[in-house]
Amino acid sequence: MKFIKLFSLLSLLLIFSNAKAQEFKLGKVSVAELQEKAHPKDTAAVAAILFKNGTSKIEYDLTNGFVLITEVETRIKIYKKEGYDWANQSVGYYLGNNSKEAVSFSDANTFNLVNGKVEKTKLKSDGIFDENINKYRGRKKITMPNVKEGSVIEYKYVVRTENIGWMRDWKFQTSIPVNYSEYITYVPEYYIFNVRQKGFFATDVSSEKKTKTISFTNKERSGDRVVQTSYTTSNVDYIETKTTYKAEGLPAMKEESYVNNIDNYTLSLEHELSIVKYPNSPVKSYSSDWNSVVKTIYNYDDFGPELNKTGYYEDNLKPLLATATTPEEKIMVILNHVKSSVKWNEFYGYSCENGVKKAYKEKVGNVADINLMLTSMLRYAGLNADPVLVSTRDNGISLFPNRTAYNYVIASVETPSGHVLLDATDKFATPNILPIRDLNWHGRLIRKDGSSEDIDLMPKKSSNDVVFLSYGIDAEGKVTGKTKRQCTDYNALITRHNIDNVKEDAYLENLENQNDKIEISEYKRTNENEILLPTIETYSFSGNNLCEVIGGKIYVSPMLFFANSENPFKQEVREYPVDFGFPYVDKYNITIQIPEGFTVETLPEAVIINMEEGVGSFKFNISRTENNLQLMVSHQINQPIVGAEMYPMLKDYYQAMIAKQTEKIVLKRI
């Protein structure tokens, strides 16, 4: 799916008509707002944003020069107890030495209706918290007081930074309805920003220009014996552009299954600094296209130059490569060496934190330290290796050329059969089996000469989950059986993470509870740490709650606890893609022994369901041989990302599949 396809709906967006200017101010909460019991357009909403107004101004400070000041005012209505979380607000900020951001909250109050009158409770200092997330990021938090069902809360915060390029994204939509949202930017003529909107609704946009003046006071001293001080004032005029964006009546963005990051599809604005042109100074251009973006990144001291450092690992790597003759062998030797030599500190970024040499020596580093080191070693081994910039799933889709679109880097080796993608931060990752966080549509490969190439990150090969299940049923409905489950590729990666550092007793207890409280015995794992091989789990089980005995008949869903019982797709309409992460095939080979004295009264019919355009298929076939039933089930998804236009088909497919998987076999006494 091409990026442009996702956002082609922008041409069909709702257009605001007859929008009247409205004024929203903090402190003026009405009795009507407090009396409102439910949102008029979404009665299920636990809360709603009544208004959210923001301004981002680039203003001149006589001490620091131009600074960026963002002010946000918000009023929220709480309808239900489940909406109390909205009384907890936080704003993140950067802790860097050179461009530290400052955040402050004010005008924070909770309003309630008491005996027909508006009662205000002011936020006190004990409800304001400041914490460090890591050495790069901090967070200012508030917890609003006296919040009840029906409360209205409001607050203001200000973010100040000297880094003009850090204009924050403005999100018009969120997980609750938004009645009104307005965002205004004030930008001097010296700065040009690329402004991009994403989402499925439109904003009402207007702009105006006006002249602004900066006044400088100059101090001069004169005289020999008697020194006199004089002051003169000089002015500099410049044009400031004010741009206003408005949106109203926005529905809640509701989470549903198989969404990689809901923020990719919410109505929002992004601003990226493109050009700076001060008077009497050369024009400084930032990102304009992907090639200029990646060239800029490659030339950073903590990126490109790190790839050229080899001396720190050569003595260790040479003997390991001595026995590796094929490219595949070299890749595995180097990948395993980096994994075992440097532990990931769980910090993202495409810029090195400690530098590859220090990370190798101290055996710890961030993503860039590890994967740029990996790329360098691959090149040293004579492989055609390059770094690939990635935006992780939680960071969103990198749709537009800009330096902040990416937050991660992996390695690629170009081979005659295509690119082999590698990430050494995950001990269970293998060639072309990346951590799930990396699987976010497309990345950007950067070559030594500064050129770049779009790289598809989404897997093409299906990951298998194959189950062999054999069980018998006694006359009282107790089920006893054995299971063997074999997983490959991404399913194996997920399995290994699920069992990693988890005590077997705790793992089995959870497995028993998830599967209708069965009792598991004779549990065994194979290939747990042999990451190039499938994971295999085998166990015996018994359960008293796996079938029903009614009127002397036994009713059983033949797939037992492996059957899907709930459709993950519940929305009537979905405007964003379904993201499965990777293509997969689930197969079940099931043998059922009929209890003595019973025969089959009803068997589910065989069925084959094929989705259009080869999206996927479901096959269900059951047959009888003497006292045994043999069931073959297959569920296959061929495309990791399915477009929103196919959502109705996908929803119907899952509904039909679940109905068949949960259909009962009926056994009656002879």
101: closest CA among 125, 130, 75? Answer: 130
Give CA–CA dist 514/180, Å, rounded. 43
pLDDT category at 18 given cuts 50, 70, 90 is: very low
Q: What is the pLDDT of residue 135?
A: 74
Q: Which residues pair with 464 in a beta bridge?
A: 585
Segment 65-108, tens digit of pLDDT: 999 999 999 999 999 999 999 999 999 998 866 667 899 999 99
Give percent of the chain with pLDDT exceeding 70: 94
- CA-CA distance, 201 to 234, in Å (whole number)? 46
Q: Residue 556's CB: how many other CB atoms inside 10 A?
A: 20
In this structure, of 2-16, 349-363, 515-529, 555-569, the range with the lowest mean pLDDT score is 2-16
Structural domain boundaries in the chain: 3-13+42-210+241-285, 291-456, 463-669
Q: In CATH terms, is domain 3-13+42-210+241-285 a member of 2.60.40.3140?
A: yes
Which of 2-16, 218-232, 401-415 is predicted with the least confidence, judged by mean pLDDT? 2-16
Cα angle 535, 539, 540; round to 5: 160
- What amino acid occupies position 496? R
- Residue 390, strand partner residues: 408
Which pLDDT does position 629 carry in this prediction? 97
* Average pLDDT estimate for 434-440: 97
Looking at residue 213, what is its pLDDT? 93
Could you tell me which residue, 101 or 380, shows the higher pLDDT?
380
Q: Using a pLDDT cut of 90, give the percent of the chain over it.
A: 81
Which range is least confidently modeled, 98-112, 276-290, 315-329, 533-547? 276-290
Report pLDDT for 573.
87
User: Which has the closest alpha carbon to 77: 45, 119, 123?
Assistant: 45
pTM of the model: 0.84
User: What pLDDT sits at residue 173?
Assistant: 97
- For the residues 442-461, what does the mean pLDDT come to? 93
Task: Give 222's pLDDT tier (boundaries 50, 70, 90).
Answer: low
Displacement of CA 151 from its chain's centroid (Å)? 31
The CATH number of 291-456, from 3.10.620.30, 2.40.10.10, 3.60.20.10, 3.30.470.10, is: 3.10.620.30
Q: Tell me the CA end-to-end span of the chain in Å, nearest whole number.
A: 56
Residue 99 is predicted with a pLDDT of 67
**Most distant CA pair in the chain: distance in Å?**
126
Instruction: Count Cβ atoms below 10 Å from residue 293 Cβ, excluding itself.
Output: 25
Residue 196 CA, chain-centre distance (Å), reads 20
Distance between CA atoms of residues 435 and 387, nearest Å? 16
501-528 residue pLDDT tens = 999 999 999 999 999 999 999 999 999 9
Distances 619 to 531, 567, 586, 639 between C-alpha atoms, Å = 30, 17, 11, 17
129-186 pLDDT per residue, tens: 999 887 778 999 999 999 999 999 999 999 999 999 889 999 999 999 999 999 999 9
Q: What is the pLDDT of residue 403?
A: 74
Mean pLDDT, range 384-401, rounded to an integer: 90
Q: Quickly name the fold that domain 463-669 has.
A: Jelly Rolls (2.60.120)
